[in-house]
Structure 1
Amino acid sequence: MTTAARPDIRRAGPRFGAEIDGVDLTRPVDDLTAGELRRAFAEHKVLVFRGQHLTPDQQVAALRIFAEPFDHPTALRHPENPLVYPYNVRQTGKASTWHIGGLWRTPVFAIESLVYEEVPELGGHTLWADLQAAYDDLSEPFKQLLASVNAVYDGNAENYAQGSGKTAKGDPVEHPVVLEHPLTGRKGLFISSSAQGLTGVTPQEGRVLLDHLLRHASSPDYTIRFGWQPGDFVLWDNQATWHYAVDDYGDGARVYRKVLAVEPFHPAPTE
């Protein structure tokens, strides 16, 4: 049976982010609810559903409301569903840098989602920054410069898998520093701390530009922060935001499951 409850969308910050109540993702949702959730995702970029306690199959089904899940070529797979990737930071390490997922491929992941299974008693929050808002605040001459600049990243998918030692670099992959969002058309910065350099400028200019862009995009002016409890489900727009897992919990537990998507579904038009 599908659920027909209307979602209660509560803004979590003035720029972006929302918590969704009133929807049970352990059951299929009706088409009207799915359309409302897609529109909320397009607007708010980060959606949090508290206390859902989704199984691996239910997490895949939940992400299918927004996009078709991606079959990652190198990630460790969950035994209950091969589109689900388990993480335990005690084995895989912590993602405590500002980053965008899937930079080894073109296009990068459109959506990333997590279900939390274990979290530290205190700490272990996640930050997101709105890269589109960060772009909006740049001067027009600077925007014109960045329009012709790409960032270079490691193209080896193995180096992005859980616990990778990142020893053998792959062929370089370039992504534009300014991305026009494929769904909304809105422009935003598209930069990650793993960038190896910038094209279209001299190496010296690239170092200065890259340092400025990384500091600008991570400004508290553009960020939102969420803390977690077991069972929480979050998904975010990987082409409009970047994220940072705060490492303030020592050797505490942080266990979660990830599901990815590449091509997002367009939100249905409003009546």
Structure 2
Amino acid sequence: MTIDIQPIDPVNRAFFAGVVSGLDLTQPLSPEQVAAVHAGMDEFGVLVFHDQKINDEQQLVFSRSLGPLEQATGDIAAPEERRVSMDLNDISNLDKNNRVLARDDRRRLFGLGNQLWHSDSSFKEIPAKYSLLSARHIPPTGGNTEFADMRAAYDTLDEATKREVHDLICLHSQIFSRGILGFTDFTDAEREKWAPVRQRLVRKHPATGRLSLYLASHAGGIEGWPVPEARAFLRDLTEHATQRQFVYAHVWQPHDLVMWDNRVTMHRARRYDYAEVRDMRRTTLTNEVSSLQQAP
């Protein structure tokens, strides 16, 4: 079967978000198929695979065929509370007994940070490359995921702003992003774990050479700048980057798998009824090198 990737919105956004046909992710990929997926990611930044009825192990096999995985150390659940292995991120509103978390459960409140624009694992010194999210059970309404093309966001900056952002280093931490929502219930160990890390504000894609903004709600400062000025500037950049012409909104269908390149996108989850089940599993490929090593 031949792999085909077509733009989801060929009229308004032919350069961003493609839908893939001709792949069965329950089966191991050939080297040619792996190369085609990488090429599709380089072109579109976001790929959608419909009707992929995969289990955790099949998702892991597919993900590992694309590169090394990072461990799921970015959530707030204690080890004894986890539903899945450390190779998977539990993107759900369920406890280990598959019961919906209470509205005021600390794990749920922390997870609301996913509704802010962000790039996965930008709060780690070695951030994420690809994220792969599999929809196992979705609510009847709401819960969409939006993706912003950070290449287009960079391209449309005026020349003075491009010069200004070129060499800036930002400080990223989940302490900051959750603080935006008023979540400050962190232990001393968590505050130490999520101490700010340094990331470039402009990155160069190693395969395509394209430049992109590297923004996230985790970014709470710019080296050498007063904090209020840095946060105001980062907010302005985020508003620019998330204009609707740069955004693809994915309406989930059962058994969709969506993967995206965190180096060239931001994303956010949208609200849904907290009492409805939303069960998803995310595997995440490590970028292997710091953003500091991907200078423009």
* TM-score bin (small chain): 0.7 to 0.9
Shift of 1:81: 4.8
**Could you tell me the TM-score, scaled by structure 1's length?**
0.85
Q: Deviations over 1:10-61 (max 9, x none)?
A: 2113231011112111011222222112111111111111111111110011
Change (3 A) 1:23 1:108: same
RMSD in angstroms over aligned alpha carbons?
2.4
Aligned positions of 1:119-130 closer than 5 A: 119-130=138-149
- Tell me, yes or no, if structure 1 residue 98 matches structure 2 residue 117: yes
Aligned positions of 1:197-208 closer than 5 A: 197-208=221-232
Which of the residues 135, 138, 150 maps onto 2:169?
150
Q: Name the structure with the higher helix share.
A: 2
Aligned positions of 1:1-271 closer than 5 A: 5-13=1-9, 14=13, 15-73=15-73, 81-89=85-93, 90-91=100-101, 92=108, 93-94=111-112, 95-154=114-173, 165-168=185-188, 169-170=191-192, 171-263=195-287
2 CA distance for matches of 1:189 and 1:7?
30
1 CA distance for matches of 2:54 and 2:228?
48
Q: Is the 8 A contact 1:105 1:155 kept in 2?
A: no
1 CA distance for matches of 2:125 and 2:24?
33
Equivalent position amino acid for 2:89 in 1: Y
2 CA distance for matches of 1:245 and 1:148?
30
2 CA distance for matches of 1:247 and 1:138?
30
Unaligned 5+ runs, structure 2: 94-99, 102-107, 289-296
Please state whether the residue corresponding to 1:174 is helix, strand or coil.
Answer: strand
Q: Is the 8 A contact 2:139 2:272 kept in 1?
A: no
Q: Percent identity?
A: 26
**Could you tell me the TM-score, scaled by structure 2's length?**
0.78
2 CA distance for matches of 1:79 and 1:18?
31
Shift of 1:82: 4.1
Q: Deviations over 1:46-81 (max 9, x none)?
A: 111111111111001111232222223465687675
2 CA distance for matches of 1:202 and 1:71?
34
113-122 or 126-135, which deviates more: 113-122
Paired residue total: 255
Q: Is the 8 A contact 1:179 1:187 kept in 2?
A: yes
1 CA distance for matches of 2:70 and 2:231?
33
2 CA distance for matches of 1:167 and 1:202?
27
Q: Deviations over 1:80-119 (max 9, x none)?
A: 7541232322533332110111122222111111111111
2 CA distance for matches of 1:164 and 1:212?
24
Q: Deviations over 1:205-260 (max 9, x none)?
A: 32331221111111112100111122111111011101011114453221101111
2 CA distance for matches of 1:204 and 1:36?
44
Equivalent position amino acid for 1:183 in 2: A
Q: Is the 8 A contact 1:85 1:258 kept in 2?
A: yes
Q: Is the 8 A contact 1:155 1:173 kept in 2?
A: no
Equivalent position amino acid for 1:129 in 2: A
2 CA distance for matches of 1:108 and 1:199?
18
Please state whether the residue corresponding to 1:117 is helix, strand or coil.
Answer: strand
Unaligned 5+ runs, structure 1: 265-271
Q: Is the 8 A contact 2:174 2:218 kept in 1?
A: no
88-97 or 59-68, which deviates more: 88-97
1 CA distance for matches of 2:130 and 2:216?
16
Change (3 A) 1:253 1:46: same
* Residue matched to 2:104: none
Q: Is the 8 A contact 2:46 2:260 kept in 1?
A: yes
